[in-house]
Amino acid sequence: MEWLSHREKEVVRGIEQGLSYKEIADTCCISPHTVHTHIKNIYEKLQAKDRREAITKARRKGLI
């Protein structure tokens, strides 16, 4: 099973809540650029092409 780091799970939860990159960054005390990097990694790990697919796959895998 694919795994996500603690920070990546926080980012996915932010995406799930409909937060912007800046809002996620502020919540996690990281830069928006770092959020973007985490999202790229999440898409790659989950083999997702967009936010909706990433959230769906993360839920199915019990990651969020």
**The domain that contains 31 carries what CATH number?**
1.10.10.10
Domain-located, residue 29: yes
In a domain, 1, yes or no: no
For residue 50, is it within any domain?
yes
Give the number of domains in the chain: 1
The number of angstroms, rounded, from the C-alpha of 7 to the middle of its chain's C-alpha atoms is 8
Structural domain harbouring 49: 6-60
pLDDT by 10s per residue, the chain, length 64: 458 899 999 999 999 999 999 999 999 999 999 999 999 999 999 999 999 999 999 999 888 8
pLDDT of residue 63: 84
Using only C-alpha atoms, the chain has a radius of gyration, in whole angstroms, of: 10
Whole-prediction pTM: 0.86
Q: Specify the DSSP class assigned to residue 62.
A: T
